[in-house]
Amino acid sequence: MRPAPASRIAAARSTGTAHRTPSTPADSDPGPGLDTDLGAGPSPDPHPEPDPHPDPDQQPTGRRFAGVATMIGSGLSNQTGAAIGSHAFPVLGPVGVVAVRQYVAAIVLLAVGRPRLRSFTWWQWRPVVGLAVVFGTMNLSLYTAIDRIGLGLAVTLEFLGPLCIALATSRRRADACCALVAAAAVVTLMRPRPSADYLGMSLGLLAAVCWASYILLNRTVGRRVPGAQGSAAAAGLSALMFLPIGIAVAVHQPPTPSAVAYAVTAGVLSSAVPYLADLFTLRRVPAQAFGLFMSINPVLAALVGWVGLGQNLGWTEWTSIGAIVAANTLSILTRRG
């Protein structure tokens, strides 16, 4: 799961959206409610300043097209980064690759968020610590699952996290049908067979649980900590947690230059690029469109795994992946407002 950069990412993901690094916190308190000030505020400025963050729904077509192109590029970057990182598994293992990725994510988010750590209260630190633990566990379980069951299936199982949150919080019949379709697809993916790797599938489901927890914790962090400071602090704390792990891996499995290059590239493509791309995208496309395009990540992962890693999937797996993506797409398209 890369991080979601803004409150709309959390909203889009909670309606069934993507991967993977901590996001700029969602739902930060904007201050006094606007509704209470409508009758008592100062007179309107006759020469108002242009809104620096216009509503994505009112963006010109060209800007929306740029946002859509960026979303597709972000998804490909994310999955390509994971595929490239898997080339370092024989030397560093999934744990070593995830450690490097955490370091890269921390560098990017700390540079952007610039958290004032000394000003944090314990009330603010609690969800930040939880977010750091979930963030690290999510990436570690996902990359270990990729090592065992392949990129496409691992990302598909992880995608169930935000999908389940979206469906569980709805009482619409359409969402109940979507839940049944997704559940049937998961049962098909995890059907008993001689070659089934149940540990790898369980790790993919653990990543899904972590992603769902990440969404909920990210909202809490966003309400308690202003701006991107909470997510930046969580990324830095997660990197500190992985520091002794990275040292232990380096001591027991001395890294080669190529393995380090693969791991750093994975961190850049799966953390830095998607994070910055999402900042650009969410100002240009509606959150619903963002959710729809995030839905295709399992398909992108399967394609990247097939083309880049030679991980072939059978028609049953492709059908199951398509069913999960279709369930999420239908859920989003049938929502009102």
pLDDT digits (tens, 9 = 90+) for 205-255: 999 999 889 888 888 888 898 878 888 899 999 999 999 999 999 998 889
Q: Which pLDDT belongs to residue 159?
A: 84
Mean pLDDT comparison of 66-70, 124-128, 219-223, 312-316, highest-scoring range: 124-128
CB count, 10 Å around CB of 317? Answer: 18
Q: Which pLDDT belongs to residue 146?
A: 93
Q: Which pLDDT belongs to residue 228?
A: 81
Q: Cβ(189)–Cβ(157) under 8 Å?
A: yes
The token duo for 126 is 């609690």
CA angle, 153 then 157 then 159, to 5°: 115
Percentage of residues in the chain having pLDDT higher than 70: 74
Residue 6's pLDDT band (cuts 50, 70, 90): very low
**The dihedral formed by the CA atoms of 86, 143, 11 and 272, expressed in degrees to the nearest 10:** -40
Closest of 226, 83, 92 to residue 142, by C-alpha? 83
Alpha carbons 84 and 182: distance in angstroms, whole number: 29
Mean pLDDT of 202-207: 94
CA angle, 178 then 181 then 183, to 5°: 105
Q: Which pLDDT belongs to residue 12?
A: 44
Inter-axis angle of helices 122-149 and 229-252, nearest 10: 50
Assess whether pLDDT exceeds 60 at residue 106.
yes
CA atoms within 13 A on the CB side of 160: 28
Q: Cβ(324)–Cβ(185) under 8 Å?
A: yes
Q: Which pLDDT belongs to residue 283?
A: 64
pLDDT greater at residue 79 or residue 17? 79
DSSP helix/strand/coil, 12:
helix
Alpha carbons 150 and 225: distance in angstroms, whole number: 37
Assess whether pLDDT exceeds 50 at residue 18.
no
Q: Which pLDDT belongs to residue 282?
A: 60
Residue 56 identity: P
Distance of CA 151 to the CA centre of its chain: 15
Assess whether pLDDT exceeds 90 at residue 265.
yes
Element (H, E) at 185: helix 173-189
Query: What's the pLDDT tens digit per position in 109-154?
Result: 898 888 998 899 999 999 999 999 999 999 999 999 999 999 988 9
Percentage of residues in the chain having pLDDT higher than 90: 30
The count of residues in the chain is: 337
Assess whether pLDDT exceeds 60 at residue 44.
no
